[in-house]
Amino acid sequence: MARVRRHNGRRMLRVILSSALVALCCACSVMPTTTTRRSLPADPHSHAEPNRVRVVHLSLDLALDFERRRAEGSARLDLERIDRDAPLRLDVRALEILGVTGSAGGKRKYIVGPEDDATASELIVELARDDTSVTVHYRTTERAEAMQWLAPAQTAGGKQPFLFTQGQAILTRTWIPLQDSPAVRITYDATIRAPQGLTPVMSAEQLGRAADGAWHFRMQQPIPSYLIALACGELEFSAVSARCGVWAEPSVLGGARSELEDMEAMVQSAEELFGPYRWGRYDLIVLPPSFPFGGMENPRLTFATPTILAGDKSLVGLVAHELAHSWSGNLVTNATWRDFWLNEGFTVYFEQRIMERVYGPERSNMEKVLGLREYEEELPTLDLGLRMLHLDLVGRNPDDAVTSVPYQKGALFLRRIEELVGRPAFDRFLRRWFDEHAFMSVTTEEFLAYLRSELLAHYPDAATKLNLVEWLYDGGVPADLPRPRSAMLDEVDAQVARWTAGTAAEALVTKGWTTQQWLRFLDALPASLSVVQLAQLDRVFGFTQSRNSEILCEWLVACVRNQYSAADSRVAEFLCSVGRRKFLKPLYTELAKSPEGLRRAREIYALARPRYHAVSTRTIDDLLDWKP
Ligand code: BES
Ligand code: ZN
């Protein structure tokens, strides 16, 4: 596990500011008209001191060099000088700094601190009295973990290279020098120079290509640094509605467009639930399969894995999820990574509400039941600090917090409040929460204070029943955990019971089952199965040949666990073609449980590793005790 340095004395000396109102110059109607210069909470994962000098805008100018696999250019940072005597402290990692200039162009002194742990070092810039901005001239290195440069063979088209970035949680500092804390919100503009034939896209408004061939972007709403994102490759666009569309490589685009045709309906449902979509366009880019996540909620442009394209819309819950982040996460953001559940728990809750509206309550119920199961299965395997909603991340990389606790327990907490006060009251409350905290980064304590004063104060009965300490600061399962039910999953359980009691697989009633039902089927099977049993299931249901990534992954885990060697080549093939950590982790974990499996895992990993993103290799290196 990566170690992160603890608070130090200097940080304790931070100047605490009384909040002052700062008017943001803006003419655009979607922008907030004023913002409060709030004193920001300490962030153990950042060296920045935004309460002394705060970055408010980034102007990025980068040329992409696919041969050398690096980007080179500059980042101009506009500053708010709160403490005139304070230097500017930025987060950087693995960047080659070429020089720093002040607002009038003069050179500024700087030092790059030691890389004191796996996550960060700092760039300290001495500011002149009248500097309102600084420009950092730099290039990225091959250790830029946010960036994955793909060879043409790793793309669908096979002819052009590809690049994408992944900023969350603390990787933006590996490609842009800035204050890399989710509490610090900035606007940005970018100029990207890319080779002929490649199209760059960003989490921003696309302003097009200038006469000199450079591409221009701008984001006028203040966002946290982890949401700055770039992808570049042979990309084409297909519209789904006036404000929604899909970017993908040409050979993927047609299929992706039809799989994702409900995007507009999802945005409309989300707006009906929690207020206007404030980001203008909502597009999605389907990335090559090495993308380490299912999806990433980069504003205006969700980044997604191609493994959600199952052909039957069965995995589009992920789109509802990333879209929901346009409210929970992008509009109202966790102030530190401890408060991660404010992003993900809210988003899962919101995702389930969107799915209920667009695809009906039963689909949503099935997804809720599967989510709860995930939480209950994973909880006992987690360190105590990761079992509570309010996480203990001191000494940990925030990436370790991506577990079902912030996601599922977080969503269940909100569902519990909904149960207690009733849906209409809870919806009104959530809507106001988003409106009143729009474009702000907030802590768990701020949410709790708001919950108490704006909701629970009016529902004394609910207030007595809700044990907030148990829900937020305790690692156990709350006594009043909601237990969602699904009739369609109950049907599956009945069939599994018949099968385990001796009924042949052929005789089971499975006609018309959905992906969620098959996932339940696989999950409900006994952990220990004979090769004969697995062969029978495979013959009747064709799992090894499934083209649904979720079903396939769940099945392959069962095959590895029970040494069903007929699936061995499929396991290797899957691990070599997909880089999504959610699939890699359980498969490598299961393989590593036996000496023979571990040998196979290492053999496969040696081949596959160069094709995985750093987010995935960090996890799998650990798992297989791999020394790069
Ligand atoms: N924001 C997350 C992905 C993330 C979390 C990246 C933490 C880095 C650090 C994204 O919204 C997400 O939750 N993705 C899930 C989707 C799922 C829950 C529908 C994924 O990638 O599997
Ligand atoms: Zn999410």
The answer as to whether 501 is a domain residue is no
pTM, rounded to two decimals:
0.94
Asked if residue 215 and residue 195 are part of one domain, the reply reads: yes
Asked if residue 251 and residue 221 are part of one domain, the reply reads: no
What's the average model confidence in pLDDT over 346-356? 98
Asked if residue 259 and residue 208 are part of one domain, the reply reads: no
Rounded distance between C-alpha atoms, residue 543 and residue 445, angstroms: 46
Residue 50 alpha carbon to ligand 2 centre in Å = 26
Rounded distance between C-alpha atoms, residue 185 and residue 438, angstroms: 12
Asked if residue 542 and residue 456 are part of one domain, the reply reads: no
Q: Report pLDDT digits (tens) over 429-467.
A: 999 999 999 999 999 999 999 999 999 999 999 999 999
What's the average model confidence in pLDDT over 234-256? 98
Whether the Cβ atoms of residue 432 and residue 451 lie closer than 8 Å to each other: no
Pure H helices in 409-454: 410-421, 423-436, 444-454
The answer as to whether 162 is a domain residue is no
Other Cβ atoms less than 10 A from the Cβ of 509: the count is 12
Domain tally, the chain: 3
The answer as to whether 512 is a domain residue is no
51 pLDDT above the threshold of 70: yes
Asked if residue 48 and residue 17 are part of one domain, the reply reads: yes
Q: What pairing do the DSSP bridges indicate for beta strands 301-304 and 282-286?
A: parallel
Q: Please, which residues have CB within 8 angstroms of residue 526's CB and are 6 or more apart in sequence?
A: 500
11 pLDDT above the threshold of 60: no
Q: Which domain holds residue 91?
A: 2-143+173-228
Q: Is 318 in the pocket of ligand 1 (CB under 6 A)?
A: yes
Whether the Cβ atoms of residue 390 and residue 472 lie closer than 8 Å to each other: yes
The answer as to whether 561 is a domain residue is yes
Q: Please, which residues have CB within 8 angstroms of residue 91's CB and are 6 or more apart in sequence?
A: 46, 47, 48, 120, 121, 122, 123, 170, 173, 177, 178, 179, 180, 181
Asked if residue 421 and residue 314 are part of one domain, the reply reads: yes
- Is the omega angle on the peptide bond into residue 169 within 30 degrees of 0, that is, cis? yes
Asked if residue 421 and residue 305 are part of one domain, the reply reads: yes
- Rg of the chain taking only CA atoms, in angstroms: 24
Whether the Cβ atoms of residue 137 and residue 74 lie closer than 8 Å to each other: yes
Asked if residue 247 and residue 189 are part of one domain, the reply reads: no
Asked if residue 426 and residue 359 are part of one domain, the reply reads: yes
Residue 8 alpha carbon to ligand 1 centre in Å = 31
Task: Identify which ligand lies nearest to the alpha carbon of 398.
Answer: 1
Q: Report pLDDT digits (tens) over 514-531.
A: 999 999 999 999 999 999
Single out the residue in 445, 473, 501 at which a domain terminates: 473
Burial of 579 (0-12, 13-18, 19+ CB in 10 A): buried
Asked if residue 559 and residue 447 are part of one domain, the reply reads: no
Question: At 533, phi and psi to the nearest 5?
Answer: -65, -45
The answer as to whether 539 is a domain residue is yes
Q: Report pLDDT digits (tens) over 405-431.
A: 999 999 999 999 999 999 999 999 999
Q: Please, which residues have CB within 8 angstroms of residue 223's CB and are 6 or more apart in sequence?
A: 185, 186, 187, 188, 203, 299, 330
List the catalytic residue out of 407, 564, 605, 612: 407
367 pLDDT above the threshold of 80: yes
Whether the Cβ atoms of residue 261 and residue 240 lie closer than 8 Å to each other: yes
Question: At 514, phi and psi to the nearest 5?
Answer: -90, 170
The answer as to whether 327 is a domain residue is yes
Whether the Cβ atoms of residue 294 and residue 304 lie closer than 8 Å to each other: yes
The answer as to whether 496 is a domain residue is no
Asked if residue 257 and residue 183 are part of one domain, the reply reads: no
- Measuring CA to CA, which residue among 270, 259, 256 is closest to residue 323? 270
407 in catalytic set = yes
Residue 455 alpha carbon to ligand 1 centre in Å = 29
Asked if residue 384 and residue 345 are part of one domain, the reply reads: yes
Q: How many residues does the chain have?
A: 628
